[in-house]
Structure 1
Amino acid sequence: MQDGKILVIDDNKSVLSALEILLQFEFKKVETISNPNQISSFPNLGDFDIVLLDMNFSAGVNTGNEGLFWLREIKKKAPQISVIMMTAYGAVDLAVRALKEGAIDFILKPWNNEKLMATIKSAILLRKSQKEIQQLKQKQSNLKQVINEDTNYIIGNSKALTAVLNLVQKVAKTDVNVLITGENGTGKELIARELHRLSSRKDEVFIGVDMGSIAETLFESELFGHTKGAFTDAKEDRAGKFEAAHSGSLFLDEIGNLSLQTQAKLLSAIQNRTIVRVGSNKSIPVDIRLICATNCNLNQMVADGIFREDLLYRINTIHIEVPPLRERENDILILADFYLKKFTSKYGKPTLRINSAAQEKLLSYSWPGNVRELQHTMERAVILSEGTVLKPTDFLLSANSGEVSVESGPETLDDMEKLMISRALDKHSGNYSAAANQLGISRQTLYNKIKKFDK
């Protein structure tokens, strides 16, 4: 017995009886009605998979217009239901009209039992496939919403930030490539997400890729995907980030940390708007909104021969510079208040407040780690607080804007390592590959150490 629900509508009670006897042993539920006027008040019509609908209900009438009328009424009430028309007066033009009105098939009376069962079973399979497709679309829509959800917000009303957000609004509606630059911790990814949120692609996915964390050997697989057996661990076909972001936005963070070889591969994909999976020779077209970000000086890197000029032109149609926190006036206190509320709620300390002396300390600090440093500072202060007021002593800020003092010298191995990394990055204008070569470590190791220090 198939898991199908059938409704038969015919004014001939002999037909209803014959179909009920034939179908009841094949399908889970079979119901019949002899008067089509019952359709309007029929309960749970949408629960049925198939309706077998007669074309003529009045004596001496064989135009099929009655059946077409009730077909339209059924589709109004239950648009997803599959309707098979039945008539003793077959005509090609009538069948065509029924199909145009939304019927999925046409049966002539008297019917052949085997053909009738085959038609109904095919309709059941089609109905099942349509349900599965609808469920998949709903799951995909829900997944996109989850992927696009972001609990961070762009907080502040300073002139510097307002100018950036005004530019974002102008650019967002277009599909031009955007390059976002700024110091570490300024919120470049938030700006990228805002571009996506305000764009025509807002209902599609936003895929972010940290280019600095991808090993060069895995670059193509991660971005372009691979086929089963393309390399040792390729146990199945896998789509890359470009394919995953199709119809949506692709955010490539730390774009300045790519080697010249990987830059060439990325340039080809951006220019052609096609990718080829590792292990395949088939080109796959991709439709993405490309947003890139870096804290490096790409113009200087082009001059030094370590970043491709043609790639810079491709990703830099619009340039957005995110201002450091020290240039955002009183946004510091607005952000501090935002994170205070967030973390007092998280850690169960709702009565905490910041006194004026502590506010002055926050305003006078240069925040080399920008918004990320302020966030971590506020969280630490809330966790360690013992009273109801946060005082200047509750905020542990570096005496020299977050850097280790050269005069006093590093006190720990971590301090020494941090100082050496900072100097190497400064010397090479933020280029990870050049700094890693100077320090005698791999670019991946350097990146991991920087991530550790940022926490």
Structure 2
Amino acid sequence: MKKYGKVLIVDAGEGALAGLRMLLKDYFSEIDCERNPNLIPSYLCRGVYDVYILDMNFNSGRHNGNEGIFWMNKIFETDPGAAVILTTSNGNVDTAVRAIKAGAANLIQKPWSDEKMRGAILSVRKSGRSGSHVATNKAVDRRKPRALSIIGSSEPIKKILLQMSKVAATDANVLITGENGTGKELVARAIHNQSNRIGEAFVSVDMGSISGSLFESELFGHKKGAFTDAMEDRPGRFESADGGTLFLDEIGNLPLSLQPKLLSALQNREIVRVGTNRHVPVDIRLITATNMPLERMVREGKFRGDLLYRMNTITIHVPPLRQRKPDIKPLFDHFKEKYETKYSKPGMEVDAAVFDKLISWHWPGNVRELEHAVEKAVIMSESGCLGPEDFAFNLNKGIVIAGEPECYNLAKNEMRVINQAIERCRGNLSQASRILGITRKTLYNKISKYGI
């Protein structure tokens, strides 16, 4: 077996150091072991490492993990592209969340299994500087992708972060569920940015916007002359994502008749461009998302069970904002800063009563609605201080019709709901079609029918 790369192991336990040296001797050309973390800077003066393995606690009686995170940040100061694996005997959710948010490539709980530890180490080596015996100027900065990580500190968010930390290092297919506007694509991108495929493409496909006639061409590509508008050879989304991650959003909108074609590509890991007979192998990590009840759709015969089971090796559910209200303030602060910068209105103050109002609202549009509300408030405010009056929620506005309708005419009610959806999505018909649960083509037809 060819050995390459350098690893630095820092742990107060002599047994842990000896065990890891034995475990890795066939994989790394240089293994440095150290019990004293204060000597880490001296090791870094000699050069950077492909992998760092760092215990989170060095002093007896301290189990909060602060020491490990402190030394990891010191490593990042010298080596921004560092691949750091933290180890701990205190493997609770809070510790895992803090480690991943701080930039750790992985967190391994003691006592570990050799197989799990070996896999984690070789995985981050591959995603860091694999194939090179010396550090290059193209080292990936692992902290920046994680900086876009999910904002919030509620228990549901902690659970999601923990799930992400476990699944990211694998190539398992992931299904992300949740209502519109909860941030499913953000979760997908965060998983990609923590995975071995971080340096490769992340290709996002809105399945609800692809018509049946163009499905194969969009996903699998086509050869010049394969159909009327095929003026040149064109790769599909599968080929574009080769080596990286393919994200199929709103997978529940895929018509039943087209599902076998997707299933075949996923099972065989190869595609055939329209107009050719050549099988092209593809290496992708599949992440899908939906706001639809796929398991119920399977029972109703509207979605293939074998396709669902192919997609949902791991399922991550993103709860609606109304179920994680502790996240409203940090999200508000993030969006406020974003739009203060965008619209050149720095340092806007916020009346404390604003948060009482935001907490009391049920957020049918979830995080997306909160972002739009903050953007509108920043734009319209003239006083330099955001108050409750800047967040005027229309209690009668919404896609769900509650109580007694004004009339029972189906056509009028359908036209009203379509108008409300288009208004809520600010004229974005793709988004409007998604929250209405119909295809964009169907929405176009209804717009034409009602003269909207």
**Closer, same or farther: CA 369–287 of 1 in aligned 2, 3 Å:** same
Any residues of structure 2 matched to 1:310-325 within 5 Å, and which? Answer: 310-325=306-321
- What residue is the counterpart of 1:306 in the other structure? 302
Counterpart selection for 1:349 from 341, 345, 351: 345
Q: What is the DSSP-based 3-state SS (H/G/I as helix, E as strand, rest coil) of the residue aligned with 2:159?
A: helix
2:145·2:194 contact (CA, 8 Å) conserved in 1? no
Task: Name the amino acid aligned to 2:333.
Answer: D
1:393 aligns with 2:389: yes
2:322·2:363 contact (CA, 8 Å) conserved in 1? yes
Superposition deviation, residue 345 in structure 1: 1.5
- What residue is the counterpart of 2:164 in the other structure? 168
| Deviation readout 1:216-237 (Å, 9 max, x if unpaired) | 1100000000001100111111
Q: What is the DSSP-based 3-state SS (H/G/I as helix, E as strand, rest coil) of the residue aligned with 1:220?
A: helix
Task: Name the amino acid aligned to 1:183.
Answer: E
- What residue is the counterpart of 1:32 in the other structure? none
Counterpart selection for 2:442 from 426, 436, 445: 445
2:321·2:367 contact (CA, 8 Å) conserved in 1? yes
1:432·1:446 contact (CA, 8 Å) conserved in 2? no
Taking structure 2 as the reference length, the TM-score comes to 0.60
Superposition deviation, residue 184 in structure 1: 0.2
Superposition deviation, residue 399 in structure 1: 1.4
Provide the C-alpha distance between the structure 2 equivalents of 1:234 and 1:281, rounded to a whole number of angstroms.
Answer: 17
- What residue is the counterpart of 2:331 in the other structure? 335
Counterpart selection for 1:200 from 166, 179, 196: 196
Task: Name the amino acid aligned to 2:346.
Answer: P
**Closer, same or farther: CA 365–434 of 1 in aligned 2, 3 Å:** closer
| Deviation readout 1:1-31 (Å, 9 max, x if unpaired) | xxxxxxxxxxxxxxxxxxxxxxxxxxxxxxx
- What residue is the counterpart of 1:417 in the other structure? 418
- What residue is the counterpart of 1:362 in the other structure? 358
1:227 aligns with 2:223: yes
1:174·1:199 contact (CA, 8 Å) conserved in 2? yes
Any residues of structure 2 matched to 1:1-80 within 5 Å, and which? Answer: none
Any residues of structure 2 matched to 1:109-124 within 5 Å, and which? Answer: none
- What residue is the counterpart of 1:107 in the other structure? none
**Closer, same or farther: CA 413–257 of 1 in aligned 2, 3 Å:** closer
Superposition deviation, residue 444 in structure 1: 2.3
**Closer, same or farther: CA 151–405 of 1 in aligned 2, 3 Å:** farther
1:339·1:375 contact (CA, 8 Å) conserved in 2? yes
2:377·2:391 contact (CA, 8 Å) conserved in 1? yes
Task: Name the amino acid aligned to 2:151.
Answer: I
Point out where structure 2 has 5 or more consecutive residues left out of the alignment. 1-135, 423-431, 448-452
Superposition deviation, residue 432 in structure 1: 7.0
- What residue is the counterpart of 1:128 in the other structure? none
Superposition deviation, residue 375 in structure 1: 0.4
- What residue is the counterpart of 1:180 in the other structure? 176
**Closer, same or farther: CA 211–379 of 1 in aligned 2, 3 Å:** same
Taking structure 1 as the reference length, the TM-score comes to 0.59
- What residue is the counterpart of 1:87 in the other structure? none
Superposition deviation, residue 396 in structure 1: 2.1
Provide the C-alpha distance between the structure 1 equivalents of 2:339 and 2:361, rounded to a whole number of angstroms.
Answer: 21
Provide the C-alpha distance between the structure 2 equivalents of 1:416 and 1:319, rounded to a whole number of angstroms.
Answer: 31
| Deviation readout 1:141-166 (Å, 9 max, x if unpaired) | 99x99xx9899552111111110010
**Closer, same or farther: CA 234–431 of 1 in aligned 2, 3 Å:** closer
Superposition deviation, residue 328 in structure 1: 1.3
Superposition deviation, residue 364 in structure 1: 0.6
- What residue is the counterpart of 1:281 in the other structure? 277
- What residue is the counterpart of 2:113 in the other structure? none
- What residue is the counterpart of 2:151 in the other structure? 155
1:366·1:401 contact (CA, 8 Å) conserved in 2? no
| Deviation readout 1:282-331 (Å, 9 max, x if unpaired) | 10000000000000000011111110000000001100001111111321
Provide the C-alpha distance between the structure 2 equivalents of 1:215 and 1:258, rounded to a whole number of angstroms.
Answer: 9
1:212·1:447 contact (CA, 8 Å) conserved in 2? no
| Deviation readout 1:113-160 (Å, 9 max, x if unpaired) | xxxxxxxxxxxxxxxxxxxxxxxxx9xx99x99xx9899552111111
| Deviation readout 1:329-376 (Å, 9 max, x if unpaired) | 321011111111111111121132221111100011111111100000
Q: What is the DSSP-based 3-state SS (H/G/I as helix, E as strand, rest coil) of the residue aligned with 1:302?
A: helix
Task: Name the amino acid aligned to 1:391.
Answer: G
Q: What is the DSSP-based 3-state SS (H/G/I as helix, E as strand, rest coil) of the residue aligned with 1:348?
A: coil
**Closer, same or farther: CA 202–261 of 1 in aligned 2, 3 Å:** same
Any residues of structure 2 matched to 1:118-133 within 5 Å, and which? Answer: none
2:174·2:316 contact (CA, 8 Å) conserved in 1? yes
Q: What is the DSSP-based 3-state SS (H/G/I as helix, E as strand, rest coil) of the residue aligned with 1:337?
A: helix
Provide the C-alpha distance between the structure 2 equivalents of 1:444 and 1:361, rounded to a whole number of angstroms.
Answer: 38
1:433·1:443 contact (CA, 8 Å) conserved in 2? no
| Deviation readout 1:222-258 (Å, 9 max, x if unpaired) | 0000001100111111100000111111000010001
Aligned pairs, number: 296
Provide the C-alpha distance between the structure 2 equivalents of 1:279 and 1:303, rounded to a whole number of angstroms.
Answer: 35
Provide the C-alpha distance between the structure 1 equivalents of 2:188 and 2:300, rounded to a whole number of angstroms.
Answer: 28
Superposition deviation, residue 390 in structure 1: 1.2
Q: What is the DSSP-based 3-state SS (H/G/I as helix, E as strand, rest coil) of the residue aligned with 1:199?
A: coil
**Closer, same or farther: CA 346–431 of 1 in aligned 2, 3 Å:** closer
Provide the C-alpha distance between the structure 2 equivalents of 1:332 and 1:309, rounded to a whole number of angstroms.
Answer: 36
Provide the C-alpha distance between the structure 2 equivalents of 1:299 and 1:431, rounded to a whole number of angstroms.
Answer: 22
- What residue is the counterpart of 1:237 in the other structure? 233
Superposition deviation, residue 408 in structure 1: 7.2
1:296·1:431 contact (CA, 8 Å) conserved in 2? no
Q: What is the DSSP-based 3-state SS (H/G/I as helix, E as strand, rest coil) of the residue aligned with 1:180?
A: strand
- What residue is the counterpart of 1:256 in the other structure? 252
Provide the C-alpha distance between the structure 2 equivalents of 1:241 and 1:230, rounded to a whole number of angstroms.
Answer: 17
1:365·1:401 contact (CA, 8 Å) conserved in 2? no
Task: Name the amino acid aligned to 2:351.
Answer: N
Q: What is the DSSP-based 3-state SS (H/G/I as helix, E as strand, rest coil) of the residue aligned with 1:330?
A: helix
Superposition deviation, residue 386 in structure 1: 1.3
**Closer, same or farther: CA 198–214 of 1 in aligned 2, 3 Å:** same
1:265 aligns with 2:266: no
Superposition deviation, residue 393 in structure 1: 1.3
1:213·1:447 contact (CA, 8 Å) conserved in 2? no
2:180·2:435 contact (CA, 8 Å) conserved in 1? no
Superposition deviation, residue 415 in structure 1: 3.9
Provide the C-alpha distance between the structure 1 equivalents of 2:328 and 2:435, rounded to a whole number of angstroms.
Answer: 33
